[in-house]
Amino acid sequence: MLRIVACVVVSTIVCAQASATVVSRCSASAGYAYYFAGPLVPADKAGWRKDGVTGGSLQLLRDGNDYDIVYTDASGGSRSVRADGFEVIAVPRPQSSTVLIIGLHPTTGVLEHWLFSLDPAGRGNVVWGTARPSNVQKSALYEATCASP
């Protein structure tokens, strides 16, 4: 059963990527996260911590007016934000070099955002963040360098 679920998830990601164009590929992310004290975070461990996604990357995909973010973790596993059930909104752009994407998961309440500043070839930076109202409540902000696909 687990294999079937894994195959469906991978197929969904591959199909979503097949019709989309890669706008930019971004390297590992570094930043900071604020952890709230709670059931799994003792009070003395709460607060700001250096954080990041070492060895991972992300891609910005575009299919017409629709966007998606695909994460690849250090082990090589990938996940699509859309395939994970996030509602993805592209915010109208004040400049052609910026892309602001907001993702909200309706079940978990997780909010993620990505602000890309890219040249026409897809080179530049992304600043992205997440807010997670879960057993480990945290809000984080990261930065990564992006390259042409």
Nearest one of 79, 128, 73, 78 to 99, comparing CA atoms: 128
Q: Which residue has the higher pLDDT, 95 or 120?
A: 120
pTM value is 0.83
Q: Six-digit token pair at 40?
A: 């799994």
Q: Taking residues 46-57, what's their average pLDDT?
A: 94
Alpha-carbon distance of 86 to 27, in angstroms, equals 22
pLDDT over 90, % of the chain = 76
- Quote the tokens at residue 52: 């990041």
Q: Compute the distance between CA of residue 95 and CA of residue 92 in angstroms, rounded to an integer.
A: 9
85 vs 3, more confident: 85
| Helix or strand holding residue 104 (H, E) | strand 98-104
